Amino acid sequence: MKKRINPPKFSKGRFRRVKVIYDRENCIGAGSCAVVAPQFWKMKPDGKANLLNSKINKKTGNYELELEVDEEMLAILKDSEDACPVRVIKVIEIK
Ligand code: SF4
């Protein structure tokens, strides 16, 4: 896994609101997300990952999860984004 050169900067005790967007249809079941971030991802019997506690966006068909994270949790989420070989995981900061 590539090393993070510019880790996200946080003031002490600060949280950030992020949205995780997951295109489950195009998941190839590599399982890397569930290895690096098992608190967010779980492999299912159909061979694809589930983004835990997410809801489907009926317009896009993607699964989405909004949450507030500290620096450590954001790094874990970003690791799962980076680990996905088909780039079906997006982690974006929202206001
Ligand atoms: S790493 Fe990507 S392709 Fe692999 S299981 Fe997770 S979401 Fe699916």
The pick from 88, 90, 91 for probing ligand 1's pocket by mutation, whose C-beta has the most ligand atoms within 8 angstroms, reads: 88
**pTM here?**
0.86
The pick from 86, 87, 90, 91 for probing ligand 1's pocket by mutation, whose C-beta has the most ligand atoms within 8 angstroms, reads: 86
CB within 6 Å of ligand 1 — which residues? 27-33, 41, 48-49, 83-84, 86, 88-89
pLDDT reading at 8 higher than 70: no
Report the pLDDT value the prediction gives residue 71, as an integer from 0 to 100.
93
pLDDT tens digits, residue range 35-83? 999 999 999 999 999 999 999 999 999 999 999 999 999 999 999 999 9
For ligand 1, atom 1, the nearest C-alpha belongs to 84
Distances (CA, A) of 3 to 59, 67, 72, 75, 82: 35, 25, 15, 11, 10
Q: Spell out the domains of the chain, with CATH numbers in brackets.
A: 16-93 (3.30.70.20)
Report the pLDDT value the prediction gives residue 95, as an integer from 0 to 100.
77
Q: Please say whether the dihedral angle defined by the alpha carbons of residues 28, 36, 90 and 21, taken in this order, is positive or negative.
A: positive
